[in-house]
Structure 1
């Protein structure tokens, strides 16, 4: 990092998603964000703060229209906006619209309203900044996502597929979250990709909402399901008289333990009976569903690959920018909430992550219990500045305590022992000053 020189230093954050209906309005990272802005207020660097899209969750306000949403934001987060004003007096703050706050690009009044707090709103899909002889390309990234692309950028009535998901699913979750045994439904924003939503809901229902007596009665069967399937097959062989040794040996072994052995035997019999029934139903059902899926694929009735690749569209977009603008050293975006660095032909593709909670799926150590979604925070600031060898990109992690102890039950932690995630931010990378001429592009 350059300090006390004339070299520009760009601090980049994105995907804060501040605001929304009811429980979505709670900011877990407010104190950390205020501390970062206060620190930036006192820097002696030639610095600029770039908020690279989705600063606000305007889509998630479903009962307000237009600038009413901004009025609520200012009223509810007055301390944050006053800190924007204070920091902006020392350091320029530039804000790009994302998809969740696309309305910022739709109403010119937002430019003046944000300027009151020393925030410059750029109503464009991208901006560039210079570092020496190189440039940095900034865009939020939703324009590379077909589910969230705004075909008519700046149109206040634009409603891509992601808009309906957030107004009907995410916002509703914020309204209902407090009704649960634990206030977890608001974390729907952290579920990525969205195709994991059904699995996440099953997991939280099982570990958080299910009646405890029912859950504890279900755990032994699900935990022993794999063993029960094997025992069901052996029991079938025993009944058919094909191979009786395993069942006879197990019965004799358990008989040695008296009442305790009889209890274990009863539990195994119940598990085997249920597993056997599921096998009888499941085998023909498996073949039926496979045939149905193949038929649907042949006719192309539905799109089977709904998940947007979190990297490939952005690689393609970056290559296009690098070809058209050879001086570009870094393509910086957000949107996918995944802090990553990818080297592309001597240039760099950089994702600025999110300040929202992140969820990491972990399968349990045995059995057929629902997976566990581990929460974590990776609050990060990407710093881009000049370096002796070119342009340096560095991730700074903003420390925040892990929410695991408060949000995961003891059962969830025990069932995933040894499988806890350990997310790490990318290392510092320097893009050298060497600029290669773009290869000729074939026109077909």
Structure 2
């Protein structure tokens, strides 16, 4: 390992390559190969750090241990040959994440990856010098109680996240091609995981539901808010409390003759249904509230499924910075959210994911299911010492948006003017440290 001050680090994470059946597809295959080919020919003194979850080993449910490596090489020979070629020019370091934790549990993986010029480090974290600073690398799952590995190196450790992966994500990969469209495999891109039920409802409504049924429901769902309001006003009218609003609305519709009458009848039907739903919703809400209080009292669910995207890592970065004054950059992945922010003189950096990002867009009217707008934020974090300090920046790797193919016409209409902005964080520079001696690598 060359510890020279001018070494440049490229960081990627959360590729999640591999898995059962439909999870075998790599939608960013060409982009990843292109990035690795660029490093194969760079004249920089560089190291590529793959900071966890490069592979989806938990997503292989019918294979064990080193068999999963053989499956990866067989499925992606071009990727492994490119890793070999890239590794001849720059150092390639691989850290285990939670989805590929088995890399830390079987020593055979080290030798097998070394044959492709990849240095597999079977530790939860590493440190690297850059200029007069140091970078702390870890995947980040150790800060997540649902994916924390207590007995590091034990092949039989199965945290809660393991069961979610094997029972939900892997099963989705096995079933995805049975749908009208091959969308179920994207469940691994749904974050936070608590959104998964809502995402399933959304995809069923916009993708799987019979088109005639969907379009017959659309007017009712779009007008539900208005119908609910009119149902309340109709109740006040029937009770003799306030009749003016209903009379005024009815008189407006009468101005349009037969068309107005038809619209009034249609709206009346909506109002009747909305009124019944409101009557049912009140006792259901009270029941749900009481059940939740009971569940909380017994402590059945003590933790959320998803770790906070930043707070645990802010605390972890402060601990690292305090315990090692020469370390001022905390680089992680796991949460799939590209991040670059300053923390008390240091930097918190999340390298994001190469998986699809799904941005929730709730309806502005009615009670339609939310739209999950897809995008890509492919990037590599570049960390290098420059004349004005240590620079950290995201280098974007362009990939066309999948939205034209993956969103229905209805979804595109409902998200007009509300497309997500998948821009990456701005460049940041740490000014030269006052420390006399630069830190050394692990």
Normalising to structure 1: TM-score of the pair? 0.94
**C-alpha distance in structure 2 between counterparts of 1:6 and 1:330, whole Å:** 15
- Matched residue SS, 2:93: strand
Q: Deviations over 1:103-137 (max 9, x none)?
A: 11111111111111111111111111111221111
Instruction: Identify if the C-alpha distance between structure 1 residues 301 and 356 changes in structure 2 by more than 3 Å, giving closer, same or farther.
Output: closer
Contact 2:138 2:332 in 1 (8 A): yes
The Cα shift of 1:305 comes to: 4.3
Q: How does 1:108-147 map to 2 (within 5 A)?
A: 108-147=107-146
Q: How does 1:73-84 map to 2 (within 5 A)?
A: 73-84=72-83
The Cα shift of 1:9 comes to: 0.3
**C-alpha distance in structure 2 between counterparts of 1:25 and 1:263, whole Å:** 53
| 2:213 corresponds to | 214
**C-alpha distance in structure 2 between counterparts of 1:291 and 1:80, whole Å:** 53
User: Which stretch shifts more, 47-56 or 129-138?
Assistant: 129-138
**C-alpha distance in structure 1 between counterparts of 2:104 and 2:296, whole Å:** 40
**C-alpha distance in structure 2 between counterparts of 1:237 and 1:335, whole Å:** 53
- Matched residue SS, 1:359: strand
**C-alpha distance in structure 1 between counterparts of 2:147 and 2:434, whole Å:** 33
Contact 2:193 2:305 in 1 (8 A): no
The Cα shift of 1:192 comes to: 0.6
**C-alpha distance in structure 1 between counterparts of 2:303 and 2:67, whole Å:** 39
**C-alpha distance in structure 2 between counterparts of 1:305 and 1:65, whole Å:** 29
Q: How does 1:22-421 map to 2 (within 5 A)?
A: 22-303=21-302, 305-421=304-420
Contact 2:5 2:129 in 1 (8 A): no
The Cα shift of 1:41 comes to: 0.6
* Structure 1 portions without partners, runs of 5+: 438-444
Moved >4 Å (runs of 4+): none
Contact 2:136 2:327 in 1 (8 A): yes
Q: Deviations over 1:262-290 (max 9, x none)?
A: 22112111110011111111123323332
**C-alpha distance in structure 1 between counterparts of 2:274 and 2:200, whole Å:** 24
**C-alpha distance in structure 2 between counterparts of 1:295 and 1:148, whole Å:** 27
**C-alpha distance in structure 2 between counterparts of 1:309 and 1:143, whole Å:** 13
Instruction: Identify if the C-alpha distance between structure 1 residues 435 and 166 changes in structure 2 by more than 3 Å, giving closer, same or farther.
Output: farther
- Matched residue SS, 1:338: coil
| 1:440 corresponds to | none
**C-alpha distance in structure 1 between counterparts of 2:52 and 2:385, whole Å:** 24
The Cα shift of 1:212 comes to: 0.8
**C-alpha distance in structure 2 between counterparts of 1:125 and 1:299, whole Å:** 34
Q: Deviations over 1:208-232 (max 9, x none)?
A: 1111111111111111111001111
The Cα shift of 1:238 comes to: 2.0
The Cα shift of 1:181 comes to: 0.9
Normalising to structure 2: TM-score of the pair? 0.95
User: Which stretch shifts more, 250-259 or 53-62?
Assistant: 250-259
Instruction: Identify if the C-alpha distance between structure 1 residues 235 and 304 changes in structure 2 by more than 3 Å, giving closer, same or farther.
Output: farther
- Matched residue SS, 1:320: helix
**C-alpha distance in structure 1 between counterparts of 2:264 and 2:54, whole Å:** 58
**C-alpha distance in structure 2 between counterparts of 1:306 and 1:42, whole Å:** 42
Q: Deviations over 1:399-441 (max 9, x none)?
A: 000001000111011112221111211111111223589xxxx
Contact 1:13 1:380 in 2 (8 A): yes
The Cα shift of 1:390 comes to: 2.2
Q: CA RMSD, aligned part only?
A: 1.6
The Cα shift of 1:254 comes to: 2.0
The Cα shift of 1:304 comes to: 6.8
Instruction: Identify if the C-alpha distance between structure 1 residues 259 and 286 changes in structure 2 by more than 3 Å, giving closer, same or farther.
Output: same
| 2:440 corresponds to | none
**C-alpha distance in structure 2 between counterparts of 1:352 and 1:100, whole Å:** 16
Contact 1:6 1:46 in 2 (8 A): no
- Matched residue SS, 1:60: coil
